Structure formats: C-alpha cells, structure tokens
Amino acid sequence: MRNSFRTALAVLPLSLLGVGSSALADETEADSCLRTKIWAGYEDNWAVRTATTTTLGPGEHKIYLVTLYAGNEYQIKVCGDNNVKDVDLVLHDAEGKELARDKSDDREPSLGFKPETTATYYVAVYAADLAADVKNAGVALAVTYK
C-alpha cells in the first residue's frame, strides 16, 4: 500500500527532483522505469544500494565499480528509454574476468549475482543497439540487494 508521498516520489524522475548532473529529456523516462522496478522490488525485500542515470550514444558504455558482500544477493537492474532497442549488462570481477552477461535483447536487462567473496566488481552497461536516426539514449541503473 502506497501513501501519497511515496507515490509522488515514485513517479517523479530524478531530474525533476533536481538531482543528476546531466538530466536530459530522455533520461526521465529511464528514471521513471527504474523507479518502478525499485518500488516493486521493495515488495520482495530488495533494497537499493545506488541508482544513477546517464546518456549513451551508439556503442557507448559506462563502467561502474561496485563493492559486493559475500552472502548478500544482488540484482543489477537497468532501464533504457525509447531511443534504445538493446542495452547490454556485463559483470566482471576485479581482474576483469567476465562473470555474467544478460541474455536479453531488450532495453531492460538485469543480472542476479550472489558473490562468494566480498570484493569490488565492475558493472559495464553498453548501448548495443539504438533506434534508427537516434543520437543517444537515457539509461538508468540500480544496484539492489537482499
């Protein structure tokens, strides 16, 4: 059950709350999608470590360094806006070894991971396929845990 305050926050994108360093129009859609996933995750006891939003051009990527605890379960969730058809999500260990890669061809990939050791890992988000005649896309990412 959501109260009105919570509903308001859930639908207000980060850019309208005055946060985010490069809040472009297409990032708001990715923000809203991601927030919907975050709120839905609370129902299953997922909590959020960090959420962030960026803009990617064709073939561009962002790399995020994350500390993950052994014993905790993690889900990395991504939402792309309508400008992107396929976003890839790849998890590497600190030595660069690829541990997992999403197997979907869509703009909302996610990866589940339960580390055996507490360590830093790399998360790569990659704009694999943008819509025709589009220069960039908004992409939002959240690291959630339980």
Partner 1 sequence: MHLRVTMLAALLVACTESEPAEKPAAEKPAAEDGADASSKSAEKTFSKEELAAAAENVALVPRPAEMEKALSNAGIKSRLGDMVSDRDIATEHTNLDQVAVRTGVVLADLVLTAKEAPKDKTLHKLGKLKQGFAKVGAGDDIQVTIDEMIASINNDALKGTELVQEMDELSGVLVPELETEAGEWVVPLIQAGSWLEGAHLVSGALKAESKYDAADGMLRQPAVVDYFIKYVEREGGDKAPDEVVAKLKETLNTLKEVASKPKLEQADVETIHSATGAVLTML
The burial of 118, by beta-carbon neighbours within 10 Å (0-12 exposed, 13-18 middle, 19 or more buried), is given as exposed
Binds partner 1 by CB under 8 A, chosen from 11, 130, 131, 136: 11
Minimum distance, C-beta of residue 14 to partner 1, in the bound complex (Å): 6
Kindly tell me which of 83 and 135 has the beta carbon lying closer to partner 1. 83
Q: Which of 24, 44, 57, 107 binds partner 1 (CB under 8 A)?
A: 107
Kindly state whether residue 55 participates in binding partner 1, applying the rule CB under 8 A.
no
Under the binding rule (CB under 8 A), the answer on residue 49 touching partner 1 is yes
Quote the least distance from Cβ 136 to partner 1, whole Å: 15
DSSP, collapsed to helix, strand or coil, labels residue 4 as helix
134 touches partner 1 by CB under 8 A: no
99, 113 contact by CB (below 8 A): yes
3-state helix, strand, coil in the chain (%, to 5): 20, 45, 35
Using CB under 8 A, pick the residue from 25, 44, 103, 132 that binds partner 1: 103
Task: For residue 132, state whether it binds partner 1 (rule: CB under 8 A).
Answer: no
What does 21-48 look like in DSSP terms, one character per residue? TT--HHHHHHHHHHHHHHHHHHTTT-EE
For partner 1, give the closer residue by CB, 31 or 133: 31
Site membership for partner 1, residue 58 (CB under 8 A): no
Q: Is 42 in the site for partner 1 (CB under 8 A)?
A: yes
- How many chain residues bind partner 1 (CB under 8 A)? 86
As a whole number of angstroms, the distance between CA 26 and CA 13 comes to 11
**Sign of the torsion angle spanned by Cα atoms 97, 130, 104, 145:** positive
